[in-house]
Chain A
């Protein structure tokens, strides 16, 4: 059975891009449009293997979502995929339990390799 990845980004084009890369690599994809919806989707998708999350989004950003997940005791691996490359933000994500960071734009092979590594357990 294919592993399920939750993709959280306010851009439909980015969700489509990530979704295509992952489905072609054999993963199943569930989408959410911002941190708030991402949080609910993660909590309701018990069989998810991991999540990929943007940082700058309306309503709730990706770092706030990570912090809410950490507070709720979630162990779901989260990979941040964002235009941000600021070291302080990367450190904040790391402290909140993120498992990786990719600065957009991304190469599909690199993203798929990271997802395979983070879902290997």
Chain B
């Protein structure tokens, strides 16, 4: 995957993450500087198109996940099931935003459903191929890592953004 494509995927991911955490009321810094982390929960969701396929993986401290649950449900103490459920939904909403931003570049992927894992000092191993993008999200409640693993076929194309080819924006309603 070439550097231009990696840069576009990286900026697309940052825009998606920044919008999501802003909506959740989390004062988050999204950075390429990766401080060491001790994460105990992870989530992975796959995506695929005929020319691009890969996955989004999140790892985090449970405190981070608990603190960014929607305000309406945040009042009570979150148990493991609540945190696990929200970690999966975070992966789903972040990948959804990422996908929606790729549509204007002529890239349409289908999304899988999230798998959530618990562990101890969870680390994402990149394997033999380099990851397309890695970002760290820092808030007062801890950190979250975002990894995008993407592999493109030689005929994969990412077009200049087209304002006539946009996804429906987050938070909008259309009635038929």
Contact = CB atoms under 8 A, between A and B. Distances in A.
A20 B72 contact: yes
A13 B86 contact: yes
Contacts of B69: 13
17 contacts: A10-B113, A12-B81, A17-B72, A56-B111, A57-B113, A84-B100, A84-B111, A85-B169, A85-B170, A86-B108, A101-B174, A103-B100, A104-B96, A105-B20, A105-B24, A111-B173, A118-B175
B149 interface: no
Nearest to B24: A105
Given A14-B89, A83-B96, A103 B72 contact: no
A21 B20 CA distance: 20
B130 interface: no
B: interface residue count bin? 35 or more
B141 interface: no
Given A106-B171, A110-B171, A98 B176 contact: yes
Interface string A89-111: 01000100011111111111011
B173 A101 contact: yes
A100 B72 contact: no
Closest CB pairs A-B (n = 7): A83-B96, A85-B167, A85-B168, A11-B89, A100-B175, A85-B100, A12-B85
Contacts of A57: 113
A21 B170 CA distance: 18
A20 B92 CA distance: 21
